[in-house]
Amino acid sequence: MNRRTVITFAVLVPLLLSAPSVVKAGAPNIWEEFLGQKAFAHVQRLVDFGPRPPGSEAIEKSRDYIESQLRRSGWQVTRQAFSDTTPQGKVQFVNLIAQFPRQGKASPLFLLCSHYDTKTFDTIRFVGANDGGSSTGLLLELARVIGQHPNLAAKIELVFFDGEEAYEHFSDTDGLYGSRYFARQLESGAKRFHGGMLFDMVGDRALGITLPADSPAEMARNIFAAAEALNLRSDFTYLDRELIDDHTPLNAIGIPTIDVIDFDYPWWHTAEDTMDKLDAESLKIVGSVALYYLSEFALKDAGR
């Protein structure tokens, strides 16, 4: 080693030691950002309002809470108010629609949906921790995570449906009030949406997501693949029948929409559908798989 080399080395070593490292720890994958405890806390807040049937004071408080959380995560919220005839007369309903600020005239391509109302009962106090609460809490946490990825968020529209529950029995005129109205208003522009995911009853401690038998085949395969990639495939299977839910009106107007639901829930539509039946880990499982599916399949080219 000559003298010039020694001098150069002596000068470079202090500079290298003092320079900031150019090797940074990798950012977490988007599906690792979902926090089950945050989703669970949202569910608790909704349940604390009490039963949330359409037109109630509790559902108005729920709307205010949902809107405040969405705006905190960067989403712009619109109220879609309407009235409809029910077996109990005319009732006012309000869907909440959220979009993320975006550049230019680009429109959202994918729907993420939940209902936030609870079924009307005269004989029991029904707070719908799992049925209406869990999916809404999950969607609020999805909104937080996705909102940190503006390129992805710009491709998504969030919809919180009012009036999912039937007053008597599901029919063309009873139940799915919010999703039926939303679909009617959207029908002429439905082609811009590539697909949608509906979440319903996703917080059961004994989680077992049961995709309905009539689910769009490619979407179901990709959700199973997302679950497999995260070693969560055992929590996802098919239901042995079709289901009527808020995805039904969306599929009817040509938006392939899958119902992500755990229908094997013993406390469905009982007073026992309470917070002690739920688990934050179940919410994390569903949220993580949904984010993997969105980022690696449905909207892979949208950026993160």
The answer to whether position 9 is within a domain reads no
Percent of all residues in the chain with a pLDDT value above 70, rounded to a whole number: 91
Q: Place 13 in a pLDDT band, splitting at 50, 70 and 90.
A: very low
- Give the mean pLDDT of 219-234: 98
The answer to whether position 184 is within a domain reads yes
Q: Place 25 in a pLDDT band, splitting at 50, 70 and 90.
A: low
- Give the mean pLDDT of 15-31: 56
Residue pLDDT, tens place only, 265-288: 999 999 999 999 999 999 999 999
Q: Which residue range(s) make up the domain with 296? A: 29-302
- Give the mean pLDDT of 142-170: 97
- Quote the pLDDT of residue 103: 77
- Give the mean pLDDT of 258-264: 97
The answer to whether position 15 is within a domain reads no
**Higher confidence at residue 26 or residue 175?**
175
Residue 8 has pLDDT above 80, yes or no: no
The answer to whether position 43 is within a domain reads yes
Residue pLDDT, tens place only, 107-122: 899 999 999 999 999 9
The answer to whether position 13 is within a domain reads no
- Quote the pLDDT of residue 3: 35
Between the two ends of the chain, the Cα-to-Cα distance in Å is 50
The pTM of this model reads 0.91
- Three-state SS sequence of the chain: CCHHHHHHHHHHHHHHHHCCCCCCCCCCCHHHCCCHHHHHHHHHHHHHCCCCCCCCHHHHHHHHHHHHHHHHCCCEEEEEEEEEEECCEEEEEEEEEEECCCCCCCCCCEEEEEECCCCCCCCCCCCCHHHHHHHHHHHHHHHHHHHCCHHHHCCEEEEEECCCCCCCCCCCCCCCHHHHHHHHHHHHHHHHCCEEEEEECCCECCCCEEECCCCCHHHHHHHHHHHHHCCCHHHEEECCCCCCCCHHHHHHCCCCEEEEECCCCCCCCCCCCCHHHECHHHHHHHHHHHHHHHHHHHCHHHCC
Q: Place 256 in a pLDDT band, splitting at 50, 70 and 90.
A: very high
The answer to whether position 21 is within a domain reads no
Residue pLDDT, tens place only, 74-98: 999 999 999 999 999 999 999 999 9
The answer to whether position 66 is within a domain reads yes
Residue 229 has pLDDT above 70, yes or no: yes
The answer to whether position 233 is within a domain reads yes
- Quote the pLDDT of residue 4: 36
User: How many structural domains compose the chain?
Assistant: 1
Percent of all residues in the chain with a pLDDT value above 90, rounded to a whole number: 86
CATH number for position 154: 3.40.630.10
Which has the minimum average pLDDT: 12-26, 194-208, 287-301?
12-26
